[in-house]
Amino acid sequence: MNKINCVIIEDEIPSADELNYMLKNYNFINIVGIAHDGIKGLELIKNLNPHGVFLDISMPSKNGMELAKEIKTWNENIEIIFITAYDKYALKAFEIHALDYILKPFEEERINMAVNRLLEIVEQKKSDEDIPKILDKLLDKLHSEENLIEKIPCEHYGKIILVPLSQIYFCYTEKDKVYVKTYNKEYISNYTLNKLQKKTKFFRAHRSYLVNLNNIKELFSWFNGTYKLVMKDDKNTEIPISRGNVKHLKDILDF
């Protein structure tokens, strides 16, 4: 498990020391710095860029609420856990998307709850960052092979799945994303349509569509010499064929 780097910003030295001592019980928490006022705390944040900050609210020079807003403006991914003797700031704390709000005196159960929430959030963020990297590695490997691919790596609810070409009905692009459509599901792929076209035998029906001709239900004449394909998927999706690709389709289907 990777370490979660944290900073403590607390003007009361005994409270800061107590919290630091309690957090040492968690081997995945790494306290990289402690500051006793908001100005030095912000300097620490910008120098160390931690995953999380345990932040007091009532401090001289710069209070915790002001500091939290500056931290979130500088890096919105830093998680804020407020530590305070007052519950009156709780609503404001969550308005600026604080992860947690711990009242003094510190209770081990509340510290444990906050730390585990921090762990869950940080690991989820890391997972979200890792998925595109893993997909890119898979794609690079596939690109390096001369043979056509048999499966397309796709992202689905935080996981990478390999979708067999036989199960794919068509692929399309929308708002800079490429979607892979099976009978009744859609996945996101890091491939471009151009790369998919090179690595599969799918037909380029339109600049926005690639079609698996094995999963066509029918085609019909549309207008001005163009056609539409009707797919066998759950929605009987109709896909236009651009005029420039009609002849190519006729050659493939021999009609």
Q: Domain holding 68: CATH number?
A: 3.40.50.2300
Task: Mark whether 8 and 89 lie in a shared domain.
Answer: yes
Task: Mark whether 202 and 94 lie in a shared domain.
Answer: no
CA atoms within 13 A on the CB side of 120: 8
Task: Mark whether 123 and 165 lie in a shared domain.
Answer: no
Task: Mark whether 51 and 21 lie in a shared domain.
Answer: yes
Task: Mark whether 77 and 106 lie in a shared domain.
Answer: yes
Task: Mark whether 117 and 161 lie in a shared domain.
Answer: no
Crossing angle of helices 64-74 and 38-48, rounded to 10° = 20
Task: Mark whether 157 and 113 lie in a shared domain.
Answer: no
Per-residue model confidence (pLDDT) at position 2: 80
Q: Assess if residue 134 is contained within a domain.
A: no
Task: Mark whether 103 and 173 lie in a shared domain.
Answer: no
Per-residue model confidence (pLDDT) at position 107: 93
Per-residue model confidence (pLDDT) at position 129: 61
pTM of the model: 0.52
Task: Mark whether 79 and 151 lie in a shared domain.
Answer: no
Task: Mark whether 156 and 120 lie in a shared domain.
Answer: no
Domain that holds residue 167: 147-253
Q: Assess if residue 136 is contained within a domain.
A: no
Q: Assess if residue 140 is contained within a domain.
A: no
Q: Assess if residue 139 is contained within a domain.
A: no
Q: Assess if residue 178 is contained within a domain.
A: yes
For the chain, residues with pLDDT lower than 70 are 1, 127-147, 254-255
Domain termination residue (choose one: 94, 127, 160): 127
Task: Mark whether 10 and 120 lie in a shared domain.
Answer: yes
Per-residue model confidence (pLDDT) at position 251: 77
Per-residue model confidence (pLDDT) at position 132: 66
Per-residue model confidence (pLDDT) at position 43: 94
Please count the structural domains in the chain: 2
Per-residue model confidence (pLDDT) at position 119: 92
Q: How far are the Cα atoms of 83, 85, 100, 108 from residue 103, in angstroms, in the given order?
A: 6, 5, 10, 11
